[in-house]
Amino acid sequence: MINNLSANIKASYMSKDLSKEKHKLRLLWKEKRKKISLNSNEEHEKFFIKNFKKAVGNFRNKTIAGYNPINHEVNCLHLLNFASKKGSKIALPYTNKNKILEFREWNLDDPLKKDKLGILSPSSKKIVIPDVIIIPLLCFDLNGTRLGMGLGIYDRSLPFYGLSDKYGLAFSDQKTKKLIKEEHDFLIDGVITEKNFLSFERKKN
């Protein structure tokens, strides 16, 4: 009984220490990402599209989900525009009442409205299961661990999309050394950068 109590107390302290460490990392990488983003140029868009093509392969009859960028996230919209022109359906995330992401079909000219988290999302209620999901991040490592904004929305949601390819979108300078992975952290399948497409091969759930 005493041993169990001691173990629980120790685990609680470790969890708090890890949360503090991740909070510091987020503050650091928010500033880093901002600087990287401000130094980007139009040439980078061409390279992102080149490596997006490597990641997706054949676009025709696929559904590609992205995101509406905020806070210096890599702009995903030009990738979605490219995918649409190549014959893909495109979608954006909508946060439902359970704080799980649904992906709703979106046409580039369709109006957007704020979801439960205040993020602009499609007004369409047509939910789709994407073939490819493009995910924002602060930083990533080569094991497929990503550091997000700390809300846990993607980590909670991605397990529901077991057959979808899940790729981060980031500048190459957002790569970091091995990140601490917690049990709830969901590993992504690869990262699209302006320099290359990094694939982390693993079995689909």
DSSP for 125-189, written as a single string:
--B---SEEEE--SEE-TTS-EE--SS-HHHHHGGG-TTSEEEEE--GGGB-SPPPPPTTPPPPS
Q: What is the pLDDT of residues 112-126, one digit of tens each?
A: 988 878 888 998 889
The two beta strands, 165-169 and 146-147, are unpaired
- Local confidence band at 12 (pLDDT 50, 70, 90 cut-offs): very low
Instruction: Specify the amino acid at residue 107.
Output: N
Torsions phi, psi of 68, nearest 5? Answer: -95, 110
Q: Which residue has the tokens 């649409």?
A: 84
Torsions phi, psi of 203, nearest 5? Answer: -70, 145
- Whether pLDDT at 17 is above 80: no
Q: Which residue has the tokens 């580039």?
A: 108
pLDDT for the residue 183: 87
- Local confidence band at 18 (pLDDT 50, 70, 90 cut-offs): confident
Architecture label for domain 2-199: 3-Layer(aba) Sandwich (3.40)
